[in-house]
Structure 1
Amino acid sequence: MEDNRQKCNISRSARAQLNFSVSRIERFLREGNFSQRLSPSAPVFLAGVLEYLTADVLRLSVKEAQASGRKRITPEHISWAVENDKHLRKIFKIDSKSSVAEPSKPDEN
């Protein structure tokens, strides 16, 4: 007997067990014209890397918020988390002397 069930479409994000959209990242890579050719596994890998970095930044931001006695993460907590981690500081190329959280003062001319 033939099986009349339809094949269930499973997204690439679900197959890779990722929360970030692999299809959206592939679209960004194609629209960005970074290369003429794109491996099918490149957007999956990039989605995994972005998800890992995001989770790491959020984990450190939660620690910063808790250390300052807060329950809600603010942009300053994210900034402090990135600045206080040497690996993230290197990835984002942040100078240890500068601060991302402080807004720049407008020039008075």
Structure 2
Amino acid sequence: MSGRGKKVGAAASKRKATVSRSTRAGLQFPVGRVARLLKKGNYAPRVGTGAAVYLASVLEYLSAEVLELAGNASRDNKKHRIAPRHIQLAVRNDEELNALLGSVTISEGGVLPNIQAQLLPKKTKIKPFKIKNVQLVTRNVRL
């Protein structure tokens, strides 16, 4: 044989496993899908290879941030499941996320609780308790 045919035996089984771009970048979000959507979206005539990785990492970071804050909100409400209400509370209580998602309406999110200061009851001053005619008695202690 000339050695140009199909490889037989052990040589054929030594194929490298395919590694996704998400795995190479250490991400959970799909880099390939983001790249496909960037190309099909007609955002630009040409899309660089690093753009999809960068965008996927930004999306992963933002979603992790929102999920962490929403998880804290659900734990504060003594719930084990994150509801849209918890996402709404998390986004609106965070200054930067609120600026980013200011015009976004979250379905079933509700509104932030806000009571105006005028409607709250006035605080009354508590008079300190005074003790009259009390003398301190000291004991003579010999050491």
Look up the match of 1:88.
97
Look up the match of 1:62.
71
- After superposition, the C-alpha distances for 1:67-98 in whole angstroms (9 at most, x for unaligned) are 11111110110111011111111111348xxx
Shift of 1:50: 0.4
Look up the match of 1:51.
60
Equivalent position to 1:102, from 105, 110, 133:
110
Q: One-letter code of the match for 1:24?
A: R
Q: One-letter code of the match for 1:72?
A: R
Look up the match of 1:74.
83
Q: Over alpha carbons, which structure has the higher Rg?
A: 2
* Paired positions, count: 98
The share of aligned pairs that are identical, in percent, is 39
Unaligned stretches of 5+ in structure 1?
104-109
- Higher RCO (Cα < 8 Å, 6 or more apart): 1
Flag as ranges the 4+ runs of structure 1 deviating above 3 A: none
Q: TM-score, normalised by structure 1?
A: 0.82
- Partner secondary structure for residue 38 of structure 2: helix
Q: One-letter code of the match for 1:42?
A: A
Q: Which has the higher helix share?
A: 1
